[in-house]
């Protein structure tokens, strides 16, 4: 059985307050996009509980730390899962603010549930996903949502951006989320994102902010330059996604954009 975990972008990101547990309360809008990995599980003839095969963008580090494997182990604590081979084709870049690892984990939970008829409810899958990562639960329903708390409290919203041309640019830079948080001064926004997204996209530029941008742009001016170039090309709205390093823009019409030493993904449909 195969599935295709997709990326997300953040529409606005307000860091509201620091929590006693060391995390931060935030407000953001998660919006799914069509950039996808491929994840497959098949019966294994091996003696191990699982074998993990990975292609595409290299996933570094210990396999046991991969979020796909963490999802498998979370399910295996409760259910009997036969030996399987796991194949992950990685296309969503790391350190980009696109949630690729979280998406892989959430889709693994759904894939196991469907393949082995585990009969988990959507709410139960969301609860399990939240144990893996703060934004992981979003990918269970995989619909536009306002996220609060640490990104784990989700409220679905009606938002359709399919009529806009979309450009995503990933420079050859990886931003540490931990470092991005280090220089943030939390503050409640003057206008809630829930109100901003009701307005035309053409008004978002003056209203919707990503609180990570000032510190990340200072350290990586090349990311700031990408945003400026997207606006120069006529973007109605452009922003860094999450803590970076990817930057996206929405356009009214198809636009020829070129960036050196960057991954550029563009599609009319998100």
Question: Which token pair is 242?
Answer: 């999450």
Length of the chain: 270
Pairing of strands 84-90, 50-56: parallel
Tell me 245's DSSP state. S
Closest CA to 36 of 168, 155, 173, 201: 168
**Beta bridge mates, 28:** 13, 147
Residue 219 backbone phi and psi in degrees, to 5: -80, -35
- The string of DSSP letters for 171-225 reads ES----HHHHHHT------SS-HHHHTTS-GGGHHHH--BTTHHHHHHH-HHHHH
The token pair that represents 94 in the structure block: 């790391």
Q: Which residues are catalytic?
A: 8, 135
Helix (H, G, I), strand (E, B) or coil at 257: coil
Which 8-state DSSP code applies to residue 156? E
């Amino acid at each position: 059985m195969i599935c295709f975990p997709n990326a997300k972008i953040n529409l606005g990101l307000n860091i509201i307050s620091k929590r006693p547990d060391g995390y931060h309360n935030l407000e953001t809008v998660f919006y799914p996009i069509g950039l996808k990995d491929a994840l497959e599980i098949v019966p294994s003839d091996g003696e191990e509980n699982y074998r993990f095969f990975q292609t595409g963008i290299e996933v570094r580090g210990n396999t046991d730390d991969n979020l796909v494997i963490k999802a498998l182990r979370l399910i295996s604590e409760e259910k009997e899962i036969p030996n399987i081979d796991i194949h992950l084709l990685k296309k969503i870049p790391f350190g980009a603010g696109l949630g690729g690892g979280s998406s892989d984990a959430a889709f693994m939970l759904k894939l196991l549930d469907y393949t082995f008829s585990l009969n988990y409810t959507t709410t139960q899958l969301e609860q399990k996903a939240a144990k893996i990562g703060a934004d992981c639960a979003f990918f269970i329903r995989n619909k536009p949502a306002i996220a609060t708390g640490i990104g784990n409290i989700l409220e679905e919203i009606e938002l359709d951006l399919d009529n806009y041309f979309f450009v995503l640019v990933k420079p050859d830079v990886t931003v540490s989320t931990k470092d991005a948080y280090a220089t943030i001064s939390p503050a409640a926004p003057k206008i809630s994102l829930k109100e901003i997204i009701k307005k035309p996209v053409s008004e978002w530029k003056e209203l919707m902010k990503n609180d990570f941008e000032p510190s990340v742009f200072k350290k990586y001016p090349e990311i700031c330059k990408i945003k400026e170039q997207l606006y120069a090309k006529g973007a109605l709205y452009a922003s860094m996604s999450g803590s970076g390093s990817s930057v996206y823009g929405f356009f009214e019409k198809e636009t020829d954009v070129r960036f050196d030493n960057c991954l550029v993904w563009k599609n009319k449909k998100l």
